[in-house]
């Protein structure tokens, strides 16, 4: 089976690497910039074009940043979809608005091409070690046929419903992650202002009910002052914009999301958009004049 992969950014490139390590021999790749393509070729992939990927691959996977880019690469002039054969499958691993996923799926259905929306959680570290979590929307039989492929890149793949359900689930995930990071930053700021070492607080509570994967990943970064991006503020802003759009469309109240979005927008406007989303702590540092753990 030939696999096409488009979008070789911070997540896509290691995902391609893991597909190849799992034994898939024919993986064709394309990206707007050339350096990631060259890196994937060094892993064993084949540099290609959108047209060739559409014409020759039974499965096409995309990982661009947002809805407009996915629509452009798939449905734009000379987009991949125009070259895909009936019976082939499109798997979009981007985090986009579920409304856009449904729109793309409807166009593909006219060409007898199936679709899974399969966004991921875990960021760059889990993309590298192949332990991403896939949240998938699409037909049960299509999911079953491609779950093994997804698990070359992830530790879990769960079908959540029809097309659009994967990205709806990802939006829920991004609400929880953003609000959790904010809570960790706020709690560690309180601890330090009250004269208690943030590291001691982290170690004391991480094994209890307040403990979480988010806390384990982000509290040490906050304490060390490390904002090297595993998942950038600007990307989380993109996801929360999709949350707010979806929530407004379906009438769901999301006041916590709106609040943390304002913090992220402040960080973006103050030059922190390319920092890790743990940089939410720097908003509190700005308000208090302290640096957590330092």
Give 9-55 pLDDT, tens digit per residue.
989 999 999 999 999 999 999 999 999 999 999 999 999 999 999 99
Positions marked active-site = 170
Is 90 exceeded by the pLDDT of residue 122? Answer: no
- Give the pLDDT confidence of 61-76 residue by residue, as tens digits: 999 988 999 999 999 9
pLDDT of 144:
98
Is the CB of residue 54 less than 8 Å from the CB of residue 22?
Answer: no
The mean pLDDT value for 188-197 works out to 97
- What gap in Å lies between CA 203 and CA 189, rounded to an integer? 15
148-172 residue pLDDT tens = 999 999 999 999 999 999 999 999 9
The full DSSP string for 155-189 is: EEEEEEESTTHHHHHHHHHHHHHHHHHHHHHHHHH
257-288 per-position pLDDT tens digit: 999 999 999 999 999 999 999 999 999 999 99
Q: Token match 């958009």: residue?
A: 273
Backbone phi, psi, residue 174, to 5°: -70, -30
Q: Find where tokens 């986009």 sit.
A: 96
Q: Rounded distance, CA 30 to CA 40, Å?
A: 10
């Amino acid at each position: 089976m030939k696999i096409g992969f488009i979008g070789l950014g911070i997540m896509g490139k290691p995902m391609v690497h893991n597909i190849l390590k799992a034994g898939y021999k024919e993986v064709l790749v394309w990206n707007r910039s050339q350096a990631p393509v060259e890196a994937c070729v060094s892993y064993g992939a084949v540099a290609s074009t959108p047209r060739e990927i559409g014409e020759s691959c039974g499965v096409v996977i995309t990982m661009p940043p947002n809805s407009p880019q996915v629509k452009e690469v798939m449905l734009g002039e000379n987009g991949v979809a125009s070259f895909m054969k009936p019976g082939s499958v499109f798997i979009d691993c981007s985090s986009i608005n579920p409304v856009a996923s449904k729109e793309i799926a409807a166009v593909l259905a006219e060409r007898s091409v199936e679709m899974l929306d399969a966004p991921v959680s875990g960021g760059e570290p889990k993309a590298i070690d192949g332990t991403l979590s896939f949240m998938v929307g699409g037909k049960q039989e299509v999911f079953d046929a491609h779950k093994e492929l997804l698990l070359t890149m992830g530790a879990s793949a769960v079908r959540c419903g029809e097309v659009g359900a994967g990205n709806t689930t990802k939006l829920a995930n991004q609400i929880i992650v953003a609000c959790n990071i904010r809570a960790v930053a706020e709690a560690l700021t309180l601890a330090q202002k009250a004269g208690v070492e943030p590291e001691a607080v982290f170690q004391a509570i991480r094994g209890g009910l307040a403990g979480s994967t988010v806390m384990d990943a982000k509290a040490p970064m906050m304490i060390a002052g490390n904002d090297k991006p595993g998942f950038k503020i600007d990307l989380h802003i993109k996801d929360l914009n999709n949350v707010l759009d979806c929530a407004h469309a379906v009438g769901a109240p999301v006041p916590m999301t709106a609040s943390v979005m304002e913090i992220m927008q402040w960080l973006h406007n103050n030059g922190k958009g390319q920092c890790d989303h743990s940089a939410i702590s720097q908003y509190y540092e700005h308000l208090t004049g302290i640096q957590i753990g330092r």
